[in-house]
Amino acid sequence: QVTTSDGYILSLQRIPVGISGGITPGKRTPVLLQHGVLMDGMTWLLLPPSQALAFVLADNGYDVWIANSRGTKYSRGHVSLTTEHQDYWNWSWDELVNYDLPATVDYVHNQTGEKLHYIGHSQGTLIALASLSKGLLMDKLRSATLLCPIAYLGQMNSFLARVGVDLFIAKELYWLDFKEFNPKGIDVANLLHNICNVPGVDCGDLMTAITGQNCCLQSSTVDLFLKYEPQPTSTKNMIHFAQMARRGTLAMYDYDDEYENMNHYGQPSPPEYSMTTIPDDFPLFFSYGGTDTLSDKSDVRILLDVLKGRDDSNGKFMTQYVNNYAHADYVMADAAKEEVYDLVLTFLKLH
């Protein structure tokens, strides 16, 4: 368990050695896996052991650590608050950047005495990029692997998510009365019912409607996903994502009130995260899919264009485009190991 400086108690799971044993835990390079929004560490364990990224990494000699963000099943503790307390949910992904990520990285670094590789999916990529743009944790990280990278959401073309964005923005004050955004709760069920009644919205296949047409999911994997996921987050976090999608900006949470923004940031509008400040020689690997409607390829290419001109010697800046992959394929596709993870291993071995 890891306690953040703002009082949240997070759970980390560790796979110290692979199935074949081999190198002792203290001699293995650590890798931190960070899931996306509405998910938890189970993200990395949905596939069979020979294909799930967490086990693949362990079997290839890495010391694997699996993070669980605040509010999810295994990270609902706090030094003074319960999840029933409204203040517990007063955060967005800004706090994951400033508190959760530093706490987990520091813990792994202190336990192993080694700099670590970071691998994130979806929101897990966003908090890494934001952190790197602020110059945080550079002395403790070897590299960052970003699957379905999210920095900009202005081109997001998931129609279901777009309708959700409009409803969130239109009824922001209403939704802020429900601090916890629980996908399995009645409030979110009512929201989803409203979205599905919008003309032109087909909710027959919710995963496809949200993430895009995933190419390669087995029904057994989807069944496992539905058994353990989705996970709660804060309503404030979802509104923050809605602000990003509506405005096409990469900025801190906007309180939509100049006084409140001044109180939090010392300026009338929220500061932006600048991707250009990420050090040119820090190793980055991006992989994105052609049918992903959340991490839309147009938005990813805006990000890659911002980062162009980086030092790509010795594999320091690598990109992969998988034409038929959508958002869930990256953690649930039956061929993800061959399509994506083998290249991730190649990248890690370079750094």
Cα 299 from Cα 293, distance rounded (Å)? 10
Cα 115 from Cα 109, distance rounded (Å)? 6
Active-site residue, from 133, 327, 329, 351: 327
Tokens of 266: 């010392």
Cα 166 from Cα 243, distance rounded (Å)? 10
Q: Which long-range contacts (CB under 8 A, 24 or more apart) does 126-129 make?
A: 126/93, 126/150, 126/151, 127/34, 127/93, 127/96, 127/97, 127/100, 127/101, 128/34, 128/101, 129/273, 129/275, 129/278, 129/303
Cα 205 from Cα 251, distance rounded (Å)? 32
**345: closest CA among 297, 287, 289, 296?**
287
Catalytic residue flag (residue 85): no
Catalytic residue flag (residue 334): no
Cα 11 from Cα 40, distance rounded (Å)? 10
Active-site residue, from 69, 92, 122, 234: 122
What is the 8-class DSSP label of residue 316? S
Active-site residue, from 94, 254, 292, 329: 292
**151: closest CA among 261, 271, 35, 251?**
251
- SS3 of residue 317 by DSSP: strand
Which residue type does 60 have?
N
Catalytic residue flag (residue 274): no
Active site residues: 122, 292, 327
